[in-house]
Amino acid sequence: MKALSSPQDGIESGGGVWRFPADQPLRLDSGATLSPLEVAYRTYGTLNADRSNAVLVMHALTGDQYLASTHPVTGKPGWWTRVVGRGLPLDPDRFFIICANVLGGCMGTTGPGSTDPATGAPWGLAFPVITIADMVRAQAMLVEALGIETLFAVVGASMGGMQALQWAADYPDRIFSAVCIAGAARHSAQNIAFHEVGRAAIMADPDWRGGAYEAAGVRPEKGLAVARMAAHITYLSEAALQRKFGRELQRDGLSWGFETDFQVESYLRHQGASFVDRFDANSYLYITRALDYFDLGAAYEGQLARAFARARDVRFCVLAFSSDWLYSTAESRDVVRALNAAGCRASFVEIETDKGHDAIFLDEPALDSALRGFLASAAEKRGLA
Amino acid sequence: MKALSSPQDGIESGGGVWRFPADQPLRLDSGATLSPLEVAYRTYGTLNADRSNAVLVMHALTGDQYLASTHPVTGKPGWWTRVVGRGLPLDPDRFFIICANVLGGCMGTTGPGSTDPATGAPWGLAFPVITIADMVRAQAMLVEALGIETLFAVVGASMGGMQALQWAADYPDRIFSAVCIAGAARHSAQNIAFHEVGRAAIMADPDWRGGAYEAAGVRPEKGLAVARMAAHITYLSEAALQRKFGRELQRDGLSWGFETDFQVESYLRHQGASFVDRFDANSYLYITRALDYFDLGAAYEGQLARAFARARDVRFCVLAFSSDWLYSTAESRDVVRALNAAGCRASFVEIETDKGHDAIFLDEPALDSALRGFLASAAEKRGLA
């Protein structure tokens, strides 16, 4: 393990890349095994003496481990500095917070851009297709390697929320509580459709080269930017787009051409252009595929409640945003219904907001207070000071 | 005028391409003029002696004049044979029905694929940017050329519905009634955003060649297919996608790869692939731009009601689909509110359906009966037998 430590506003911060030995391969749902497995992660705060204060935060589709640290590529603050920090719901003075780059990702954890030991070249499309459960299995290996038997909480939003549910299904004895924000128990037809558009855009880019772009010294930036633009619309509500941009123009008057006339066009193009600087096209293919394959109840003959049968001692918190049309509140309600049917303790909070799915990352005090309340109550039950 | 006549199930059918002489250029909102203007159209039924039974049907973004005739490229039936035909709401035994390919289109009306008289080559991006009002102006020229002073009705859905509203604003004395189905008085930020994704996908395709693909003997088919895939999602409701496809697989079991595992993926890819056979990429750019520029109230200081001030004698019918999220019922209500404020007669029908925007083209008996009722009542007032 190569430790990287850099203080963040005086907060103890650590992490690095955990390299598992060849005799500890990752067994995948597809039947394949992956070795060597590397997991890149960051930590905030200090593990207490009885190792009971560890929280695993799981990121969304295009997130990474830079939860509360400056991003090494973009130079921007961590993606959840609203929630993670001194005096915030996830306080590093209280919790030992871990965030790992997801399996299949492009920020240090093994993914399609990693070296295939069989060829010495990047995996590309030879990388095995992975699932949300595989991602969680890799996280569980990291958590164990860090010497943590039971996590105080797994906390995730969007794809991270799905991982929180998968943790509860697969490792109920290793978590005390689970928070699923703006998640779902399965990917809907519309979700799959949007992902397919993104994949088609990437694969349509001649610089994608069947996934072997790295060897060719090119990158399918245009295709990846289009994928991001399409996806980004789904992160915002129509109301938020209307409020933020409406039909506001970039300049006085129309261009009578294909310049960016409208502010919303400029915003969307910027989202696409800046995304390709920090993300990898093949990772986007693999992670969207994992999401499409996600259907937590499917392994239990479609009875989602059975997925949670062993999780009766886990405290659940399910949060959803009223204007989220990517993972709607109806889908969160389905999760809560299944948790209740399984006899699990579940709090459900529907947060009224017009910010859509993106509310995860935005100033949404109701999210902060719901998280704070749930975690405080769970911490008390767990005997954390 | 080159007349093409082919009987459709015994219905009198005609049409062709109307070529306006050079001294009748089309004056565009941009300030440019377009000459020579050609308008390709089809007709169904016979114009009565007092020329009072003409109905202009206006097609949607990717539609064409083959309203109730076999499409010459795809070999498929006309796009509105559910509504136009003997015994149907738009009955050619009763009405003389005209449908013209839109300005900027690719089925015979002047568009970016037409020959630029200045160069002898296809216009490409040298074609002037057009608006919905320009499209209507070209239609008005055709209607006048056909010897029709007043249309009994203008009927349009989606972009066609916007044109119906534009007709009412610009030529209120030349229409007796107007039907706007699943339309809106302006394009929202989300609508613009989706169009920008489509344009970005087309322009990202190296075969687009800055719009000059025809001279290069190539076509940006991959980019256009991605544009269509993204747009197609907006035509369907989430409920319809879930009902039609859910998470149903193409084959037994997952492919563990990037094949089309899910039926919804296969459906969407098919939509993209078949679209490029019948549509032109530059036309897609220009027509989406015209839609984005559409804001009927803007020319009246944002007061939509004033756009209809001269249309008090026009009978309006506004129809919307409850699950349409592309042009929502709220947007139709805004239109009705403005019509009422202007003192116009307006019927409003919100049709309960889970089929989304696509309900325009699908089996939706409530649409048929609403159309039939409105047109019958207007025909009576108009003194049509």
Q: pLDDT digits over A293-313, tens only?
A: 999 999 999 999 999 999 999
Compute the distance between CA of residue B34 and CA of residue B21 in angstroms, rounded to an integer.
11
Please judge whether A30 and B256 are an interchain contact, meaning their C-beta atoms are less than 8 angstroms apart.
Answer: yes
Residue in chain B nearest A201 by alpha carbon: B226
- The pLDDT score that the predictor gives to residue A7 is 40
CATH of the domain at A285: 1.10.1740.110
Q: Which amino acid makes up residue A49?
A: A
Could B201 and A204 be called an inter-chain contact, meaning their C-beta atoms sit closer than 8 Å?
yes
* pLDDT tens-place string over residues A191-240: 999 999 999 999 999 999 999 999 999 999 999 999 999 999 999 999 99
Q: Which of B196, B246, B257 sits opposite A268 (nearest CB)?
A: B196
Which of B187, B199, B258 is opposite residue A289, by nearest beta carbon?
B258
Q: Could you tell me which chain B residue has the CA closest to the CA of A268?
A: B193
CA distance B155 to chain A (A): 27
Q: Catalytic: A324?
A: yes
CATH code (residue B177): 3.40.50.1820
Q: How far apart are CA A198 and CA A61, in angstroms?
A: 13
Question: Which tokens hold the place of A288?
Answer: 């969207």
**Minimum CA–CA partner of A32 in chain B:** B256
The confidence score (pLDDT) of residue B1 equals 36
Whether the CB of A239 is below 8 Å from some CB of chain B: the reply is no
pLDDT confidence tier of residue A130, bands split at 50, 70 and 90? very high
The pLDDT value recorded for residue A10 is 64
What is the nearest CA distance from A17 to chain B, expressed in angstroms? 27
For residue range B234-255, what is the model confidence (pLDDT) as tens digits?
Answer: 999 999 999 999 999 999 899 9
Q: Are strands B315-321 and B345-351 parallel, antiparallel or unpaired?
A: parallel
Q: Pick the catalytic residue: A158, A177, A237, A328?
A: A158
Tokens of B157: 């859905």
The helix (H) or strand (E) run that includes residue B93 is none
Of B246, B271, B290, the one marking the end of a domain is B290
Residues from chain B that touch A233, judged by Cβ atoms under 8 A, are: 190, 193-194, 197
- Cα B266 off chain centre by: 26
pLDDT digits (tens, 9 = 90+) for A306-361: 999 999 999 999 999 999 999 999 999 999 999 999 999 999 999 999 999 999 99
Task: Tell me which chain B residue has its CA closest to the CA of residue A205.
Answer: B205
Nearest to A241 among B193, B222, B256 (CB): B193
Cis amide linkage into residue B128, ω under 30° from 0: no
Q: CB burial class (10 A; 0-12, 13-18, 19+) of residue A310?
A: middle
Determine the residue of chain A that is closest to B237 in CA distance: A190
**Interchain pair B222, A233: CB under 8 A:** no
Instruction: List chain B residues with CB under 8 Å of A192.
Output: 247, 262, 264-265
Instruction: Sort out which chain B residues have CB atoms less than 8 A from A265's CB and list them.
Output: 192-193, 196
Quick check: helix, strand or coil at residue B152? strand
State the residue range of the domain holding B124. 2-187+295-382
- Nearest CB among A244, A256, A285 relative to B258 is that of A285
**Per the structure block, which two tokens stand in for A89?**
């719901």
Interface probe, candidates A233, A294, A326, chain B, greatest B C-beta count within 10 A = A233
**Chain B residues inside the 8 Å CB shell of A203:** 258
For this structure, is A357 an active site residue?
yes
Residues B93, B212: Cα–Cα separation, whole Å: 45
Q: In the predicted model, what is the mean pLDDT of chain A? A: 95
Three-state DSSP string of chain A: CEECCCCECCECEEEEEEECCCCCCEECCCCCEECCCEEEEEEECCCCCCCCCEEEEECCCCCCCCCCCCCCCCCCCCCCCCCECCCCCECCCCCEEEEECCCCCCCCCCCCCCECCCCCCECHHHCCCCCHHHHHHHHHHHHHHCCCCCEEEEEEECHHHHHHHHHHHHCHHHEEEEEEECCCCECCHHHHHHHHHHHHHHHHCHHHHHHCHHHHCCCCHHHHHHHHHHHHHHHCCHHHHHHHCCCCECCCCCCCCCCCCEHHHHHHHHHHHHHHHHCCHHHHHHHHHHHHHCECCHHHCCCHHHHCCCCCCCEEEEEEECCCCCCCHHHHHHHHHHHHHCCCEEEEEEECCCCHHHHHHCCCHHHHHHHHHHHHHHHHHHCCC
Cβ–Cβ gap A189/B241 under 8 Å: yes
Considering only CA atoms, which of B147, B63, B46 is closest in space to residue B100?
B63
Of the candidates A235, A66, A273, A93, the one whose C-alpha atom is nearest the C-alpha of residue A159 is: A235
Q: Can you give the three-state secondary structure of B273-338, one letter per residue? A: HHHHHHCCHHHHHHHHHHHHHCEHHHHHCCCHHHHCCCCCCCEEEEEEECCCCCCCHHHHHHHHHH
Minimum Cα–Cα distance from B31: chain A residue: A256
Q: Are residues A169 and A181 in the same domain?
A: yes
> pLDDT class for A8, splitting at 50, 70, 90?
low
CB distance A71 to A35 below 8 Å = no
Helix axes B189-204, A263-278, angle to 10 degrees: 50
Q: What dihedral angle (degrees, nearest 10) is formed by the CA atoms of A322, A327, A328, A329?
A: -70
Say if the Cβ atoms of B265 and A192 lie within 8 Å. Answer: yes
Residues A284 and A325 placed together within one structural domain of the fold: no
Q: Chain A within 8 Å of B272 (Cβ-Cβ)?
A: yes
Q: Assign residue A295 a region: left if phi > 0, alpha if psi is -120 to 50, beta otherwise?
A: beta
User: Do A140 and A226 share a domain, yes or no?
Assistant: no
Nearest Cα residue in chain B from A190: B238
Say yes or no: A38 and A107 in one domain: yes
CB contact under 8 A, B241 and A193: yes
CA distance A20 to chain B (A): 25
Domain boundary among B241, B263, B290: B290
Are the beta carbons of B50 and B37 closer than 8 angstroms? no
Residues B69 and B155 in one domain: yes
Whether the upstream peptide bond of residue B89 has omega within 30° of 0, thus cis, is no
B-chain residues within 8 Å CB-CB of A129? 256-257
**pLDDT score recorded for residue B10:** 64
Beta-carbon separation of A292 and B261 below 8 A: yes
Sheet containing strand B175-181, strands side by side: B2-3, B13-19, B38-44, B96-100, B54-58, B151-157, B175-181, B315-321, B345-351
Structure tokens at B205: 């395709």
The encoded tokens of residue B49 equal 């002696």
Closest CA to A279 of A113, A95, A97, A58: A113
Residues A143 and A232 in one domain: no
Same domain, B144 and B169: yes
Contacts of B222 in chain A (CB under 8 A): 204
Chain A residues within 8 A of B188 when measuring between CB atoms: 238, 241-242, 247
pLDDT of residue A5: 40
Q: In chain A, how many domains are there?
A: 2
Q: Dihedral (C-alpha) A87, A89, A95, A97: value to the nearest 10 degrees?
A: -110
Residues 6+ apart with CB under 8 A from B69: B6, B8, B13, B42, B78
Task: Give yes or no: residues A249 and A369 share one domain.
Answer: no
Cβ contact (<8 Å) for A254 and B293?
yes
Question: Is A302 part of the contact surface with chain B (CB cutoff 8 Å)?
Answer: no
Active site residues of B: 158, 324, 357
What pLDDT sits at residue A3?
38
Q: Which residue, among B226, B285, B326, B329, would best test binding to A if mutated, counting the most A CBs under 10 Å from its CB?
A: B226
CB contact under 8 A, B246 and A189: yes
Q: Does B268 touch chain A (CB under 8 A)?
A: yes
Tokens for B224, please give them.
Answer: 């256009």
What distance in Å separates the CA atoms of residue A124 and residue A114, rounded to the nearest whole number? 8
Cβ contacts (< 8 Å) between B258 and chain A: which residues? 125, 199, 203, 285, 289
Chain B CB contacts of A295 below 8 Å: 247
Is some CB atom of chain A closer than 8 A to the CB atom of B206?
yes
For residue B325, list chain A residues with Cβ-Cβ distance below 8 A. Answer: 238
Indicate whether A29 pLDDT > 60.
yes
ipTM: 0.94
pLDDT of residue B11: 74
The two tokens of residue B275 are: 């679209």
Average pLDDT over residues A88-105: 97
* Best A202, A207, A249, A256 residue to mutate vs chain B (most B CBs within 10 Å): A256
Please state, as a whole number, how many other Cβ atoms lie within 10 Å of the Cβ of residue A360.
26
Q: Is B33 an 8 Å CB contact of chain A?
A: no
DSSP B360: G
Those residues with Cβ within 8 angstroms of residue B144's Cβ, 6 or more apart along the chain or in another chain: none
Are residues A358 and A327 both part of a single domain? yes
One domain, residues A350 and A220: no
Task: Tokens for B125, please give them.
Answer: 């991006």
Nearest to B172 by CA among B27, B385, B314, B15: B314
Longest dimension (CA), chain B: 67
Q: What is the pLDDT of residue B13?
A: 87
Q: Nearest CA to CA, how far is B192 from chain A (Å)?
A: 7
B55: phi then psi, degrees, rounded to nearest 5? -125, 130
Q: Which of A263, A290, A317 is the last residue of a domain?
A: A290
Which of A226, A245, A257 is opposite residue B200, by nearest beta carbon? Answer: A226
Same domain for A304 and A181, yes or no, is: yes
Q: Which stretches in chain B have pLDDT values below 50?
A: 1-7
Q: Are residues A253 and A328 in the same domain?
A: no
Q: Using CA atoms, how far apart are residues A131 and A58, in angstroms rounded to an integer? A: 15
